[in-house]
């Protein structure tokens, strides 16, 4: 599907991988809605891009917030054609610690954010896209979900994170099949270790060691490289129901 003059919504679009996807859509001539809980940063980013960018406050864990955000995006630019679900977070805790079993509350919170949030946004966005007129390929929209290589190579302490991202991987094919009759594609990207604000909190030596684990290129991934794959997922009409690892051939060790 062509991006030019069409509208995309990016959850978690105020920073990190989401912000890179926002920039890609805008530079390709699209209209883009930054959906995030980081209100100040999101509004500033939208203003720095120009009139084809807007911000909506959206908490992906809250169904009402998602519904209002999708509706606002449609009203602002007159439709919705792409949804990139980049909102998410991580957590490290073993299944059993010296204090007892894994905290259930934090496990549920991560599932709610990374998995349920992705599902809610995809479902509401797809409903909005179903009202579009199909293009020359019969397409009405594209959904790009974001998982993680932790879905396949979860490390020690990543049981909650891996479960949440594994769920995103697992719903990719059935979601694509569900939406096929509507002309809506669904693709999932599973990034490896990327140079994002989340990793910037680590000591420099830890970040360097993560980059050196990557077979080639031997460095952290760059957000614009993630955005390049998002662009291809949108533009290639035969790419559907697939999970694509973006990790420089990295397979994470147990720890």
- pTM attached to this predicted model: 0.95
Residue 87 has what pLDDT?
A: 96
Domain-embedded: residue 188: yes
Q: In this structure, are residues 168 and 151 in contact, taking their beta carbons and an 8 Å threshold?
A: yes
Domain-embedded: residue 253: no
Angle, vertex CA 107, rays to CA 102 and CA 112, nearest 5: 175
Residue 70 has what pLDDT?
A: 96
**Residue 203: pLDDT band by 50, 70, 90 thresholds?**
confident
Range name among 25-34, 71-80, 147-156, 191-200 with the lowest pLDDT average:
191-200
Annotation marks residue 45 as catalytic: no
Q: How many domains does the chain have?
A: 1
Q: In this structure, are residues 48 and 109 in contact, taking their beta carbons and an 8 Å threshold?
A: no
Residue 206 has what pLDDT?
A: 80
Domain-embedded: residue 59: yes
Instruction: Give the tens place of pLDDT for each residue, 27-77.
Output: 999 999 999 999 999 999 999 999 999 999 999 999 999 999 999 999 999
**Sheet-wide strand order for 31-36:** 53-57, 31-36, 7-11, 82-85, 141-146, 184-191, 243-246
List 26, 45, 124, 161, catalytic entry = 161
- What is the span of the domain harbouring residue 164? 7-246
Domain-embedded: residue 2: no
Domain-embedded: residue 254: no
CATH of the domain at 117: 3.40.50.720
Q: Which residues lie closer than 8 Å to 17 by C-beta, 6 or more apart? A: 86, 146, 191, 194, 196, 223, 226, 227
Domain-embedded: residue 208: yes
Distance CA 121, CA 123 (A): 6
């Amino acid at each position: 599907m062509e991006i030019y003059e069409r509208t995309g919504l990016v959850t978690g679009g105020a920073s990190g991988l989401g912000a890179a996807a926002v920039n890609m859509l805008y530079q390709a001539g699209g209209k883009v809605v930054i959906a995030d809980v980081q209100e100040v940063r999101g509004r500033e980013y939208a203003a720095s891009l120009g009139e084809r960018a807007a911000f909506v406050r959206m908490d992906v864990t809250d169904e009402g917030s998602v519904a209002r955000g999708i509706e606002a995006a449609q009203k602002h630019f007159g439709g919705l054609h792409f949804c990139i679900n980049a909102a998410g977070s991580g957590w490290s805790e073993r299944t059993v610690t010296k204090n007892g079993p894994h905290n259930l509350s934090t496990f549920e919170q991560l599932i709610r954010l990374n998995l349920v949030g992705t599902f809610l946004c995809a479902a509401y966005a797809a409903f909005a896209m179903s009202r579009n007129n199909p293009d020359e390929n019969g397409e009405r929209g594209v959904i790009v979900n974001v998982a993680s290589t932790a879905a396949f190579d979860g490390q020690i302490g990543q049981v909650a994170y891996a479960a949440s991202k594994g769920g995103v991987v697992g719903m990719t094919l059935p979601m694509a099949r569900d939406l096929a009759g509507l002309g809506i594609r669904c693709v999932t990207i599973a990034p490896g270790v990327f140079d994002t604000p989340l990793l910037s909190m680590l000591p420099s030596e830890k970040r360097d060691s993560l980059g050196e684990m990557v077979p080639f290129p031997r460095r952290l991934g760059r957000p614009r490289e993630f955005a390049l794959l998002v662009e291809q997922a949108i533009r290639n009409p035969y790419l559907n129901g697939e999970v694509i690892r973006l990790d420089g051939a990295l397979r994470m060790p147990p720890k």
